[in-house]
Structure 1
Amino acid sequence: MTERKNDLSRAKRMEMLLQTQLAPLTLEIADESSKHAGHAGARPGGETHYHVHLVSKSFEGLTRVARQRLVYNALREEFDTGLHALALDLKTPAETR
């Protein structure tokens, strides 16, 4: 039985989008919403602030800003539906050696 997209947590949806669009070798997503309670964009239910560690060949030859744009574009729908902030750690495979 396939889960409907809306039945998944935001982290799982983000994981699926990033896997599909950036083919990461490493992908870690941590919900840090509880650290931001009371701050702008925070909601009682959480799922607003995340830390993403992603290693992908897609980042080769790109600046830090270009890498961030790829991730933001991949997650555009999530931002449109309540994702407020990302802390990003984006590397190429060569940068992890």
Structure 2
Amino acid sequence: MSGTIAEEMRERLTEAFTPSKLDIINDSASHAGHSGDDGSGESHFTILIEADAFTPMNRLARQRAVIAALGDIVGERVHAVAIKASAPA
């Protein structure tokens, strides 16, 4: 796939959850030179996602669902992802 990892994450999460809100924040610059920084500029992210699909899930289940939807990105292509997943109020 061409494009950035953030774009690929957005596509996968949109397809999996049809979120009402989705922000993907690249935190890599804050981690430059630290463990896990591979120099790509795409090693650390924060994901803020809100979707109806999360309504029946607890916090841990939501995080697991997001990680599953991201597939090989987390742990293989990205060092760290902070996830804040919620259901609409």
Task: Return 34-43 or 62-71, whichever deviates more.
Answer: 34-43
Question: Aligned equivalents of 2:84 and 2:74: distance in 1?
Answer: 18
Structure 2 CA distance for aligned equivalents of residues 51 and 80 of structure 1: 14
- Does residue 55 of structure 2 align to residue 60 of structure 1? yes
Cα deviation for residue 80 of structure 1 reads 5.3
Runs of 5+ in structure 1 lacking a partner?
Answer: none
1:48 Cα shift?
0.9
Give structure 1 regions of 4+ aligned residues with deviation exceeding 3 angstroms: none
Distance apart, 1:87 and its partner CA: 1.2
Deviation, 1:81, is 3.9
Once superposed, what is the RMSD of the aligned Cα atoms?
1.1
Match of 1:22 in 2: 17
Gaps of 5+ in 2: none
User: In structure 1, which of residues 50, 55, 58 is the aligned counterpart of residue 45 of structure 2?
Assistant: 50
Q: TM-score when scaled to structure 1?
A: 0.85
Q: Percent identity?
A: 33
C-alpha separation between the residues in 1 aligned to 2:57 and 2:75?
Answer: 25
Question: TM-score, with normalisation over the residues of structure 2?
Answer: 0.92
Count of equivalent residues: 89
